[in-house]
């Protein structure tokens, strides 16, 4: 056998060898401190929960409950009748019974404030299965979003090919339609599978009045008493999520009523073009049709003056009465859009591009507007691939509905998943007080001002495991175990945002890094802990090995088992990290 052949054979042999995970030295030291003669009793475990895990109210019953969950490990001879051996203690720390976020306190914040006081889990073009240009439209991604806890579903509604019914599709593109009624029925069936708090349906309406009337009939018959319908008038204040449990809310731009106009001389072509637009007859234009013409944009046919219309256009009153959250921009510019009306509340939509421009000159006005009104932000039109944008820009200015392509991918979507892991995944996260209240001189929060240090999060990355079971053994390297490293950091306001990483560990399916990082935080309420694992590759792009994002203020202090997810946000079966979180 040649030397080269021998080397390859040796590497293959090494690849499949897996040593058992061993507790890091700090875990062994802690076990010695909280045990006696190699046994951790219920009393020892209770003290550990209080002093290390910072579970101040932990009782002996809580410690007993943990031991009961570990009882099925007794066949491994790591469970003693009087308590836990080191290995059982390690299994507890690194097990599903010890997650980084609270498994029991689902909704433990005030849910009785107006809707405008919450960040809301919001989808964009919720019916698309893939890209914005040519993917299928379906109710399947709507169902998946609702099962994840998304609370705002967007539907673009157009006349069908025979103009006698309503389809959902991304207009002026090659996306294949799905019937509106199918989407509505799926929303009804799955709306509250993950959360009992209200679902908002935002409609981008391209219908004629007779089809609007048909939509009103569909919606009322489908949802019945589930529908929250306050009538045609604008709300003076938004109701609370608590008062709207298991209710469906419709939000769109109210159609205007037109009186019969006198016969006027006008441009026949313009009139015909307007009529064609209302019926959805536009010639497909793949660039012009993307969502920069969202439902609140100026310039649609409903903003034309009466004299520009040649025939009577009466909005269907039953459709208008369905709309609980009125959307619109008005006639003026940004300053007018952001004007706060003390007598009514509404919803404003801005593209991510519009928001980026607006925060430069009107940042505090946006914060003040969102104290009473809803702001929806949606992806810019050139995101044909269904990618997303940085959600923190919207959140730090109080935007409640930061709308994302949930069928997309990438780090921005991971941040969205992370924000709404809070509060049991109910889909509503209470905004911090500084975004809800004005100062003593009526000043609003300024996201651009660097604030004093509030706290420091200390993160220890002990080790990881599970790749050996969840990946093909040749996934990372054909001839040797992977060289893993972890990236840990903060996504938040600019002053808090940072990423750090461990050293890569060569040839190890169970890497033990034992590295510590500190993250000073000025606005912990908007901070997300970013965690990623990659496999170092000297000659090519590093391989992805898992990720998660966690809301910092929801983290449980102490040593926790952190499950990782794939690039789509789906949790791996086995891959997880052992980490410690401390606020100092």
Write the CATH number for 462. Answer: 2.60.40.150
Domain edge (last residue) among 435, 468, 487:
435
Residue 511: band (very low, low, confident or very high) from pLDDT cuts 50, 70, 90: very high
Listed in order, strand segments (DSSP E) in 206-338 are: 227-228, 248-252, 323-326
Q: Which CATH number is 64's domain given? A: 1.10.238
- pLDDT of residue 2 exceeding 80: no
Does any domain span residue 483?
A: yes
What backbone torsions phi and psi does residue 91 show, to the nearest 5 degrees? Answer: -60, -40
- Give the other-Cβ count within 10 Å of 224's Cβ: 10
Do the domain assignments include residue 110? Answer: no
Quote the number of domains for the chain.
Answer: 3
Residue 560 lies in a domain: yes
Per-residue confidence (pLDDT) for residue 445, from 0 to 100: 87
Range in 23-32, 299-308, 472-481, 559-568 the model is least confident about: 299-308
Give yes or no for residue 77 having a pLDDT over 60. no
Percentage of residues of the chain with pLDDT beyond 70: 85
Out of 26-35, 304-313, 380-389, least confident range: 304-313
Q: Check whether residue 237 and residue 277 sit in a common domain.
A: yes
pLDDT of residue 69: 83
Where does the pLDDT of residue 447 fall: very low under 50, low under 70, confident under 90, or very high at 90 and above? confident
425 & 545 share domain:
no
Selecting among 124, 417, 534, 565, the annotated active-site residue is 124
- 472 and 563 within one domain: yes
Calpha distance 540→39 (Å, rounded): 48
92 with 119, same domain: the answer is no
pLDDT at residue number 20: 79
Same structural domain, 269 and 384 = yes
According to DSSP, residue 359 is labeled: H
Judgement on whether residues 253 and 170 belong to the same structural domain of the protein: yes
pLDDT at 33 over 50: yes
pLDDT value for 531:
98
Q: Does residue 261 or residue 83 have the better pLDDT?
A: 83
Q: How much is the average pLDDT of 240-257?
A: 93
- Note the pLDDT of residue 136: 96
Summarize the confidence of residues 68-72 as an average pLDDT: 78
Domain, as residue range, for 81: 15-98
User: Which of 404, 435, 466 corresponds to the end of one domain?
Assistant: 435
289 band by pLDDT with thresholds 50, 70 and 90: very low
Residues 461 and 542 in one domain: yes
Amino acid 449: pLDDT = 87
Residue that finishes a domain, picked among 98, 129, 147: 98
Based on the number of CB atoms within 10 Å of its own CB, is 52 exposed (0-12), middle (13-18) or buried (19 or more)? middle
In a domain, 106, yes or no: no
Helices (H), 374-426: 391-395, 411-419
The pLDDT of residue 78 is 56
For residues 394 and 377, the answer to whether their CB atoms sit within 8 Å is yes
Question: Which residues are CB-contacts of 333 (< 8 A; sequence separation ≥ 6)?
Answer: none
In this structure, how many other beta carbons lie within 10 angstroms of the beta carbon of residue 358? 18
Break the chain down into helix, strand, coil percent, rounded to 5: 30, 25, 45
Q: What is the mean pLDDT of residues 311-340?
A: 87
- 461 vs 308, higher pLDDT: 461
Indicate whether 127 pLDDT > 60. Answer: yes
Round the average pLDDT of the chain to a whole number and report it: 87
Q: Is residue 446 part of a domain?
A: no
Residue 305 falls inside a structural domain: no
Residues 93 and 119 occupy one common structural domain: no
Residue 386 to residue 384: CA distance in whole angstroms? 6
DSSP string, 138-160: -SHHHHHHHHHT--EEEEEEEE-
Residue 269: its pLDDT value, please?
A: 44
Same domain, 91 and 128: no
- Write out pLDDT tens, residues 411-429: 999 999 999 999 889 999 9
Does residue 488 sit in the same domain as residue 400? Answer: no
Separation of alpha carbons 221 and 204, rounded Å: 20
Confidence class for position 409, pLDDT limits 50, 70, 90: confident
Q: What was the pLDDT predicted at 247?
A: 98
**Residue 276: pLDDT band with limits 50, 70, 90:** very low
Write down the catalytic residue from 44, 85, 117, 170: 170
Residue 443 is assigned to a structural domain of this protein: no
The answer to whether residue 71 scores a pLDDT higher than 80 is no
Domain co-membership, 155 together with 273: yes
Please provide the size of the chain in residues.
584
326 annotated active-site: no
Verify that 355 and 416 share a domain, yes or no. Answer: yes
Q: What's the token pair of residue 4?
A: 């080269």
Active site annotation includes 362? no
Containing 533, the helix (H) or strand (E) segment is strand 528-535
Average pLDDT over residues 128-156: 97
Q: Is the model's pLDDT at 283 over the cut of 50?
A: no
Q: Does residue 307 form part of some domain? A: no
Give residue-wise pLDDT tens across range 188-206.
Answer: 999 999 999 999 999 999 9
What are 370-402's pLDDT values in tens digits? 999 999 999 999 999 999 999 999 999 999 999
Q: What is the reported pLDDT for 105?
A: 57
Categorize the per-residue pLDDT at 126 as very low, low, confident or very high, splitting at 50, 70 and 90. very high
| Per-residue pLDDT at 271 exceeds 90 | no
pLDDT at residue 353 greater than cutoff 90 = yes
> What CATH number did the domain enclosing 388 receive?
3.20.20.190
Please state the pTM of the whole predicted model: 0.88
Distances (CA, A) of 361 to 356, 365, 399: 10, 9, 16
pLDDT for 518-545, tens place per residue? 999 999 999 999 999 999 998 789 999 9
Which residue, among 195, 186, 203, has the nearest Cα to 140 in the 3D structure? 186
């Amino acid at each position: 056998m040649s030397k080269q052949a021998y080397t390859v054979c040796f590497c293959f042999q090494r690849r499949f060898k897996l040593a058992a995970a061993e507790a890091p030295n700090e875990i062994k030291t802690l076990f010695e401190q909280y045990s006696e003669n190699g046994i951790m009793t219920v009393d020892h475990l209770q003290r550990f929960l209080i002093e290390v895990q910072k579970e101040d109210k932990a009782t002996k019953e809580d410690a007993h409950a943990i031991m009961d969950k570990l009882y099925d490990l007794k066949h491994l001879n790591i469970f003693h009748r009087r308590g836990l051996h080191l290995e059982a203690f390690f299994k507890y720390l690194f097990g599903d019974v010890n997650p980084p976020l609270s498994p029991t306190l689902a909704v433990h914040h005030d849910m009785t404030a107006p809707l405008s006081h919450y960040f809301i889990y919001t989808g964009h073009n919720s019916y698309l299965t893939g890209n914005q240009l040519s993917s299928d439209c379906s109710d399947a991604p709507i169902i998946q979003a609702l099962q994840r806890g998304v609370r705002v579903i967007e539907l673009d509604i157009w006349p069908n090919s025979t103009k006698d019914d309503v389809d959902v599709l991304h207009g002026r593109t090659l996306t294949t339609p799905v019937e509106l009624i199918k989407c509505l029925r799926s929303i009804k069936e799955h709306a509250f599978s993950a959360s009992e708090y209200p679902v908002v349906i935002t409609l981008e309406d391209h219908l004629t009045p007779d089809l609007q009337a048909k939509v009103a009939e569909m919606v009322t018959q489908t949802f019945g008493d589930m529908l929250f319908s306050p009538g045609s008038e604008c709300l003076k204040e938004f109701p609370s999520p608590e008062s709207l449990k298991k209710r469906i809310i419709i939000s769109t731009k109210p159609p205007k009523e037109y009186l019969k106009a006198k016969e006027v001389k006008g441009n026949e072509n313009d009139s015909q073009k307007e009529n064609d637009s209302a019926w959805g007859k536009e010639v497909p234009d793949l660039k012009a049709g993307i969502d920069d013409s969202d439902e609140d944009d100026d310039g649609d046919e409903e903003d034309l003056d009466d004299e520009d219309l040649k025939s009577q256009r009466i909005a269907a009153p039953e459709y208008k009465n369905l709309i609980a959250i009125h959307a619109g921009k008005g006639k003026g510019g940004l300053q007018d859009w952001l004007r706060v009306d003390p007598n009514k509340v509404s919803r404003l939509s801005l593209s991510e591009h519009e928001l980026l421009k607006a925060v430069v000159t009107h940042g505090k006005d946006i914060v003040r507007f969102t104290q009473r009104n809803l702001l929806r932000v949606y992806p810019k039109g050139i995101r044909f691939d269904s990618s997303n944008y940085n959600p923190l820009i919207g959140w730090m200015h109080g935007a409640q509905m930061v709308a994302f392509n949930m069928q997309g991918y990438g780090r921005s979507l991971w941040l969205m998943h992370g924000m709404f892991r809070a509060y049991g995944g109910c889909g509503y996260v209470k905004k911090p007080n500084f975004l809800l209240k004005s100062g003593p001189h009526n000043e609003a929060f300024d996201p651009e001002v660097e604030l004093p240090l509030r706290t420091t999060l200390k993160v220890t990355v002990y080790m990881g495991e599970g790749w050996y079971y969840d990946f093909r053994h040749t996934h990372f390297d054909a001839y040797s175990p992977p060289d893993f490293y972890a990236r840990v950091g903060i996504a938040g306001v600019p002053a808090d945002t940072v990423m750090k990483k461990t050293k890569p560990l060569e040839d190890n399916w169970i890497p033990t890094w034992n590295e510590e990082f500190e993250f000073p935080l000025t606005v912990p309420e908007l901070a997300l802990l970013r965690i990623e694992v990659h496999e170092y590759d000297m000659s090519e792009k590093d391989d992805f090995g898992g990720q998660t994002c966690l809301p910092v203020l929801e983290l449980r202090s102490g040593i926790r088992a952190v499950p990782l997810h794939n690039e789509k946000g789906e949790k791996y079966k086995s891959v997880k990290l052992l980490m410690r979180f401390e606020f100092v």
